[in-house]
Amino acid sequence: MTTPAGFYETHAELLDQAVRATTVRDYWSAFPESPSKSVYGEQAAPEGERAFRALLGGPFPIEVPGAEGTVSTERSPWGLDLGVSYPKADPLALVAAARAATPAWRAVGPQGRAGVAAEIIKRINARSFELAHAVQHTTGQAFVMAFQAGGPHAQDRALEAVAYALAATTRTPRDAEWAKPQRGGDPLRLAKTSTVVGRGVSLVVGCTTFPTWNSYPGLFASLVTGNPVIVKPHPGAVLPLAITVQICREVLAEAGQSPDLVTLAVEEPGDGIAATLATHPDVRIVDFTGSSEFGNWLEANARQAVVYTEKAGLNTVVVDSTDDYKGLLRNLSFSLSLYSGQMCTTPQNILVPQSGIETDAGHRSVDEFGADLAAALDKLLGDPARAAGTLGAIVNDGVLARVTEADGAASVIRPTAAVTDETNPGATIRTPVVVRLDAADDKAYTREWFGPVSFVIATESTEHSLRVLVETVRAHGALTALVHSRNPEVLSAAREAALDAGVHLAENLTGGVFVNQTAAFSDLHGSGANPAATASLSDDHFVTGRFFTLQSRHHV
């Protein structure tokens, strides 16, 4: 057994660095994103794959409170037969076990809890290859992306949440001496103690496309601030979170804590266990990533809890002009293609003034821009093997149906096409469809078409584009916005528009940074300032609602 304090000692330097990184926000990463042998060792890749294969077709080794039967709900978008089954828990037993585990966890204090969390994340990192396969075969991401986004990038986001939680729970000193001067007498003296107390049972509801990346911040923020966590994966992407919960329980038990501080809540699709748990009086924190429909339902109905949601939005690109037209097209076509646009950050609405745009390659009309973008996509995705590595597989039938619907539009600029991946013949792979619209077609472009669907939308002017950006994002949300312009006044207006809309802005991305990607410890993901999300990953606001500070005072 290692005590929580022992784990803190082991990881104190890492935690210090992480806390410092949150205040500097330059480039900092604790977990290497390259799945290369030189970083993770010769055996990491084959061992990870073996560990993953060993899990297939059998019961996943994990205990849950109040187990009653099993469920097996996953299918790989790449066509692999998974057949993993998980024990199903009684929701009331999960909540009761979580509550019972809480007092000892409260007594550990912030540093010890951060130490345990850091140990968990380190062990998750050591299983990055196994997790990469699990993420690949539940989300449909290509392997390298599954490794990076599902592994080290998610681990960085986890550590970032730990750092914010540790900083926020230690900013008020545990002990303080208060001495108030008195006229003509000794000062009044009090000793004061501050204790961090978690808000209550925390529920993390995972999504199907980024089961680890989107769940880790809430999971670790809640845990470090003193709360037990029930992890409810999406039925389509259980395995990555089951492995995560398994590691959490292992470390917690080693630290002398109840493993039921982190439990797994699986369900058959339609069981509605998330709604049952989210409205339980003892569940006081809910983290959710997924549809606006259920996210809004949670916000309206989980009234006893603080609710953090990330939902749908209309990620928007304003194209005004550029000095690097090729770079613009290359960058944008990659953003549209990466993981088949199944990222909550993928651009959907590309606003172009009807008079066209000025570029280093001359004037381009809206139609020419659309054709150039289509050509850039064709070029990027011309080779099937490379295309599969960028596109990944379509995660579910809902996405496929939207692609098909968009492809039937009268004004398709670039139709979708099926791609055959020889390594994974069972995979469902589709290239992006691009549709030409006008600003008046807001019925079509003011709903989210999650997946490889985007619109080139002609507006009256760049000024009008910025107005559309503000209006649509204020009303429907967005996680990303991108502007291309060589005019400083337009860039300045775009910055103001993004502030008005409440969305983070990227400007003139023409190289190796893409609008869909955010880096932990530097980029905020989501803002809370528009309907797409109620908070950022991660900042003080994301952690301060998860705990209370209670004081006691007495004379000295």
549 binds a copy of itself (CB under 8 A): yes
Nearest distance, CB of residue 225 and a copy of itself, angstroms = 11
541 binds a copy of itself (CB under 8 A): yes
443 binds a copy of itself (CB under 8 A): no
CA distances from residue 49 to 46, 127, 129, 150 in whole angstroms, order as listed: 5, 10, 7, 15
CB atoms within 10 A of CB 142: 24
Q: 418's torsion region: left (phi>0), alpha (psi -120 to 50) or beta?
A: beta
8 Å CB contact between 51 and 127? yes
Token reading at 314: 């209309």
322 or 424: CB nearest a copy of itself: 322
- Distance of alpha carbon 231 from alpha carbon 252, whole angstroms: 15
50 or 495: CB nearest a copy of itself: 495
Residue found by looking up tokens 């993420």 in the block: 135
User: What value, to the nearest 5°, has the Cα angle with vertex 111 and ends 110 and 114?
Assistant: 85
528 binds a copy of itself (CB under 8 A): yes
300 binds a copy of itself (CB under 8 A): yes
Residue in 168, 373, 406, 473 binding a copy of itself, rule: CB under 8 A: 168
23 or 69: CB nearest a copy of itself: 23
202 binds a copy of itself (CB under 8 A): no
The packing angle between helices 325-337 and 384-391, to 10°, is 70
- Distance of alpha carbon 3 from alpha carbon 407, whole angstroms: 58
Return the amino acid letter for 244: T
295 binds a copy of itself (CB under 8 A): no
Number of amino acids touching a copy of itself (CB under 8 A)? 66
The three-state DSSP-derived secondary structure of 8-40 is: HHHHHHHHHHHHHHHHHCCCCCCCCCCCCHHHH
Binding mask 487-516 toward a copy of itself (x if CB under 8 A, else -) reads --------x--xx--xxxxxxxxxxxx---
17 or 549: CB nearest a copy of itself: 549
24 binds a copy of itself (CB under 8 A): yes
- Distance of alpha carbon 30 from alpha carbon 18, whole angstroms: 8
- Distance of alpha carbon 288 from alpha carbon 299, whole angstroms: 10
Beta bridge partners of 443: none
Nearest distance, CB of residue 25 and a copy of itself, angstroms = 4
422 or 489: CB nearest a copy of itself: 489
Phi, psi of 133 (to 5 degrees): -65, -40
8 Å CB contact between 531 and 180? no
129 or 308: CB nearest a copy of itself: 308
Residue in 148, 357, 527, 537 binding a copy of itself, rule: CB under 8 A: 527
Residues 6+ apart with CB under 8 A from 162: 15, 18, 114, 117, 118, 121, 220, 221, 224
Stretch that binds a copy of itself, among 25-33, 60-68, 332-340, 408-416 (CB under 8 A): 25-33
183 binds a copy of itself (CB under 8 A): yes
Binding mask 73-112 toward a copy of itself (x if CB under 8 A, else -) reads ---------------------------------x------
Cα 476 to its chain centre, rounded Å, is 19
375 binds a copy of itself (CB under 8 A): no
Return the amino acid letter for 359: T
Stretch that binds a copy of itself, among 80-88, 118-126, 164-172, 354-362 (CB under 8 A): 164-172
Counting Cα atoms < 13 Å in the Cβ hemisphere of 428 gives: 18
Nearest distance, CB of residue 187 and a copy of itself, angstroms = 8
- Distance of alpha carbon 554 from alpha carbon 193, whole angstroms: 9
34 binds a copy of itself (CB under 8 A): yes
301 binds a copy of itself (CB under 8 A): no
153 binds a copy of itself (CB under 8 A): no
53 binds a copy of itself (CB under 8 A): no
> Counting every residue, how long is the chain?
556
Nearest distance, CB of residue 202 and a copy of itself, angstroms = 15
Residue in 26, 42, 422, 489 binding a copy of itself, rule: CB under 8 A: 26
- Distance of alpha carbon 263 from alpha carbon 87, whole angstroms: 11
17 binds a copy of itself (CB under 8 A): no
Site residues, a copy of itself (CB under 8 A): 23-27, 34, 106, 168, 171-173, 176-183, 187-188, 190, 192-195, 197, 199, 300, 303, 495, 498-499, 502-513, 519, 522-524, 527-529, 536, 539-541, 544-545, 548-555
